[in-house]
Structure 1
Amino acid sequence: MEGDNVLDDVTNRKLRTARGKRPKGRRPALPTIAPFIAAKTARPQMLRARIRRQRLFDALDAAVRCPLTVVCAGAGWGKTVLVSAWADTRRTPVAWLTLDAHDNDVQLFWSSVAAALRAAGAVPPDSPLAELGTVPTDHVERLRHVARGLGRLAAPTVLVLDDFHEITDDDVLRELSGLLRHPPAGLRLVLLTRTQVVLPVHRMRATGEMAEIRAGELAFTVPEAADLLSRHGLALPDDEVVALVEHTEGWAAGLQLGATFLAGPGGPRTVADFAGDVRAVDEYLADEVLAGQSPHLYRFLLQTSICEHVCGDLADAITLGSDGQRTLEELERVNDFVVRLGAKPRWFRYHHLLRDVLRHRLLLESPTALPELHRRAAGWHAAHNSVFEAIEHAVAAGDWPYVGRLVVTQAAPLIASAHRAALVRLLAQIPPGAFAATPELMVCVALMLFHAGDYDAIEAQLAGTDELLAGRAEAERLPVEITSRSLRVAVHRAGGDMPAVVAETTQLLAMLAKVRFAEVPSAVQYRAIALNNKGFGLLWTDRPDRAQRYLWAASTAARAAGVELVEISALGNLALVEVMSGSVQEAARLAGDARDLAERRGLLSALQTGAAHLALALVHLESGDLAAAERAVQQATRSHRGEPAAAQWLIRVGVQARLALAKGDPGAARAFLDEARRGADPRLRAPGLERWLLLAESEVDLATGDADTVARRYALLSRTDRLTSPERVCAARAGYATHDLRSAMELLAGLRAPMSDTAATVAAGIVGAQVADAAGHGLRATDRLAEAFALADSEGIRRPFLALRDARLDALVARQNLLTHRNADFVAEIQAAMRTSAPAHRAALPAGPLSERETEVLRYLPTMLTAGEIAGELGVSVNTIKAHMRSIYRKLEAPRRSAVVTRAREYGLL
């Protein structure tokens, strides 16, 4: 009996076993009907309680509104059990006929149909089908006789033809097809079959006159499986039930066998122990699925069972045959244990339990053939760039030198991809004693060392690889040397040695230019990785323009090569180039693209996304959204838990310092920079990164009033190197703070729009306005500030207005708000933000800071109070007040009281 009660006794079992199967090519002798007709027309009854599957009952109720319903599934899927249980719920007659090979006689077939209808009480006394004799022998008269009888049924009737796959006779199929062209109104035909019906049902399918229920619908759901198991006294945890359903794929017989196995004697058993090599499963599938196969098909199933998925070409490569596609399509058509993957018949797989059985039998019957079969499969997958499958089969074959060659020529770049862990798991299956055999296998060790973060041990391993390569021809050496050099680049990048990264990637790209794809299929991935590494190295050796070209090339090459993490990394580093050079909008777009790609692929916390997160943090800082910047830094921190390289760590610390400064906490910013200095990798050589961090330190110095240090720092640097735009702005700020207005003007000369460095241009405009106003050039100050506002509005830049705020800038912005018609909303927004924020810094006074008492006296100077009146307010002598006033005049370098008030406002003291 098929289904959830497959092992139960069935009353009046199908007669196939009792009568035996007929030899092919011979029509069976017409048997005597009487001894068997009661059994053939009786609906099977189960001795155990059934599982009520209401969803399928509902599906059958809907299906029998059509003239024809086909329930098609392989052995043990529960077709008979389901329809028999459903029939119990029907109020109208359900006639049942269990077919066998002897029904391939057209007269016997229709006689059996008539008997089934009579047994169901659907045939009235005056019907042609009420006669106990046989139907007419003439074809035309027989069809008329049957059609008349079916047209005069006592009530709407369902006729179930079980085991319809047994019918192969052309006459029976032709006459049944003729009847279905004009189906009787009161008859609903339900066919239960293991194979596709060979009736011309395409028209009925197209017109909606036919319903189908297949193995997918018959498969047990998790709640149904739990119900079945409970009837065996089993109360498994939910995850165990799910695992059993997944392994059996909801196959009713498999679940029943699994329940019997789990509830059986012999100590505790788990779902993990239940597989195709369990004797009951093996015997069942052997009898119901494998026994009827020809020797050729049986051998085909055995040999191709080594693959989780198989296509025609792969099957041919394994079996050394030429009919793989035809065989797979035929097996899928007649057997639900061979499953097509997708709408087109390209890839197939075997049911998990059937594959278990086949692999167990292959191991028993042909153990010596297994390595060769796996080698054939590995070769096919390698030729079709299915890297992991190729290595898996090579590992299964125990062909370790071949595993090494596959890794070097195809798989090694995956160490820089989302597949890194999967690659390492495969490499871990290589016996330790095999690694020293070939240079390719020694490279495998280096890859595992890289994964483990043991960078110091990699160079020694690669040195041993170089020794084994000695004497090989260049064509044989090149794939290994490419992998070795790629690993050396990765080690240099991890330590932060950017000049070495640039030098090694330059040589690596030259080597890759010599390689043919057929020799090293992974060359396209190697090239994308090398371009990205070179761009990264150029960025932090202070060559951003060249870095940008290589990073663009890397992102394009990575997309073409399918190395998504490299593409994400390249886009993120491009975003860093843009935001560090001040192009805020372009940086936001690139970082957004990188994050979107990472999110679509579930890689948002991967190490390679760190650059994108940090670029976005800097973008948010420039736009003044400190909360969003904080979130981006937190995301970068999560991605860096995967042991970031030295440069990546320093970039993150630098962004954290800038965020702290933007929050008005220069002490915390300096602490971050001190941490960067103390924790830097001793191998670090990254002049571009060092200057970027020095710029952050200079901004902290300005915020804490140490402008002299900044001025000296950039004066010294300008003697040996050209200052970048942000550095010139920073030096100009120091000149403004120390009243060296001429120096500030010289530094700002040329830093006006249009420039690619938009953030620095905005800052230059603001500082230029402050310097011009201090020098008495009011109109020039207004023009410079207007330019800064126009550019800042177009790019969404707000930070410089808040970071550079002092009393003079407050006044200039207030005046701009009165004068401007363009950007009026943006100017008003900035003015409101400046009102709610404290001045970002106070420049150092030329002769030292004011004392607490001097600061108190200074607050009275803008008033009309005399020195004596101020003394009375503070409760001190007038001479004390006059002494404090002289000190204030000296420190602010002002000759009289009104000038002191003006200078105090410039310094943000009032």
Structure 2
Amino acid sequence: MTATSAVRAVHDDPARPAGFRGPGHVHKVIARRRLTDLLDREGPRPLTVIHAPAGYGKTTVAVQWLQMLHARGATVAWMGLHRDDDTPHWFLSHLLGTVRGVLPDPASVDDLLGLIEQNAEDTRTYTVSALLEILGAHPGPFVLALDDWHLVESPEVHRTLMQLLDLAPPNLLVLLTSRRRPRLPLSRLRVGARLTEIDADALRFDLVETREFLVELNGLCLGGDDVARLSEGTDGWVAALQLASLSLRDTDDPETLIRGFSGRHHSVGEYLAENVLDALPADLLDLLLATSVCDRLCGGLAGALAGRPDGGAALAELESRDLFLRALDPEREWFRYHHLFAEYLRRRLERDHPGRAAELHRRASAWFAGHDLVTEAVVHALAGGDVAGATDLVERHAMPLVEHSRMVSLLGLVRRLPPTAADGRPRLLMAVAWANCLLQRSDAAQATLDVLRAALPADDAHDELHSEADVVQACIDVYADRTDRAELLVRRSLDRSLVYRPWVVAVAANIQSFCDLHAGRFERARERQRWARRVHDRAGGPFAGVYGRCFAGIAALSTLDVDGAERQLRDAVALAREMAGRRSHAAQLAGALLGELCHLRGEREEAERLLTESAELGAESGVVDFMVASYALLARIRAATGAGDESAELLAEGARVADRLGLPRLRAAVGAERIDQLIVRGRIRQARRAAQELPTGADLDGGIAVRVDSVRVAALAAVLAAEGETDRAIALLEELAAEARRRGRVREETELTVRLAGVLESASRRLAAERILAPALERAVTAGAPQLVLDGGREVRAVVARLRARVATDGAGDPAPDRLASLLDGGAAAAGSAEEAGLTAREREILVMLDLGRDNRGIADGLGVTVNTVKWYLKHIYGALGVRNRTEAVSVARRRGLLG
């Protein structure tokens, strides 16, 4: 099996083909006008619930009403729920696949399908929000029908549905059918006139409908008393009436049969089913019993189960006989039995053929496995008692799923197996360890890895598995921001790169590059990634290649090779978007680092856009370098645009994540940014307390310890300078800058030098400030990273102004101050009063779009951002202008001349 087919095996559901829109035509049903008229009178409401026990015709009523809505221009997406949908991952996967099948642009949801493999609450919330944006932009009404909602027990899935309902755009309607009243806040929805509810009493056939069904539709010769007796005996239960019609079809004495069951049998349904089945030819009865073990059927599967070559024709005959077989798709490829009839068939199979069900399940498993439908194959293998076969299936697909970033799918399959099924299976345990590691579930990854090592024989035959286990361990360490043993752990895989699997070698190369980065071996890290490019191309999925390019980009930025970094990071974003989707987690991680680079270039709006989009998925993932950009840098940008509250929230969230995951480097970065902001606001005592709470590198190793200590000492120097202790601050910064220079950390040295120049300026040591800033200024501007100097604050800008004046007076010398001063002045005149309002160029552009009447989706499309990003910009615009909505914003902007 190929890696591609392994991925498809989990996500291709036979019950939900690409064009799946609703259940196929059902023979001999009456038009439930009484109920569809009721639904029409109620009007389209956000939620319609049709609930009753099995066999009351819920699906028939739902389909008839949906057909009416469709005829009026509504788009209908029908999702037949399955037991798998009781987990958030599978529910969202199937929901997105269902919606995708009816949209004119199916690709609009493709990116979201990959996101749900990142099993985090923020990701699921973002996925639902993004889906609602897509549905809200759909022209005309959109109806999402969820059949058999009673199969859902999970509180998380219930919350997902309520999120859909609470945030639903006006054009979205949701229809539920269920065997019981859904455990949702229906009373709240009803009070708001957002709910229509139909129950069993409403669904029962009345006398008129019973006569229409039995006499007019099925052509039975029944008198009025017989019809009344049947109506009373079945209590309007639709399934029993259909069974009665089948039983009466071939009888010459309907009155006797009716009297035979009425009032005498405690189970009318089972009595009638016996009559129907006993009248069938033996081959059809055997087909019914053999196929009853599957929830979904197609011709090939039916033939394999019944041992006959004409499975498709046999299903067609069952359908023509009205034997409760319904098509699941318009193409009439997949079918299912009515739930009640299927349950009865299974009971009869067990009664008449004890033990046969297990063999049928094993046949079903073999058929599904042969068609790359691994989920169903595993389910039936387990139902057939073949635990070893089910485990073999999961093991065979495990690593291809990991390599294609389908970790949640793999863990979902593993959870189906008995708890000890993977014991003694090193390759399956390895895949589970990888999956947990890459999802950053470090405890689960470590526990699985420990079990794996205990199961691995210590011999040469298992050498490669031992090496791979070491790489997993190193990966766990790197996510925990530790490098003390990682290099040693990956060495053997790198030494044997021509022998080991490309995936293992690619990850090992990335881990080695990470270690090189934090040991200050930047050129070695870049060289390692040049070497690893060919390995990344051979490894499955985007994971290794995106991370490798990101690490090469970080190495380039560390030496202020901004152009080289940009090539790597843009390549990383492009690779992630191509292989995993524009909204994928890989694209957002790479986008966060690209946002950091844009910030260094002085491209604030673009930096903010990229970092905001990254934060939408939740920033607590990837290595710490990604998180620092998503929390600390984005907070700095938000503070600079006047969004102080949002900046503080980001820093507080970053601190919580750092403490929960045990990441001192992240804790130091967000703490230092908070200290800088406190000092700018004059809250020196609070800054002093915050500096005392910063972590140290005492318990860390190597370059990471050095970096944590450097951040802490630089923050302490900022506090000392603010307290007037400039000599002490200068001494600390001079020592830090010298150490950074010694280690070849050009970017860090430049940042520290800029800080030092600011402190010298505040101490009135102006010549020293100019002397030390000039080379740093030249370095930053020449590299294309002017923001390194612009972030220095008011004192540094004063030094730049003097350097610029000196160049102008002398008529020669370094042009860097003049180029930087141009950046400081750039756009000021054009912005005019918009700058006074605290609006960026991007926000002024949005104001113009508001004036043109564009909605949020139109603005998002025009700017190439998400609707959530537009909402964030609007919030800031409203705050800056002191308004509450877009109409007021346009009015105030016109009065103040902000629209040009």
Q: Which has the higher contact order (CA 8 A, sep 6+)?
A: 2
- TM-score after normalising by structure 1: 0.48
Larger radius of gyration: 1
- TM-score after normalising by structure 2: 0.49
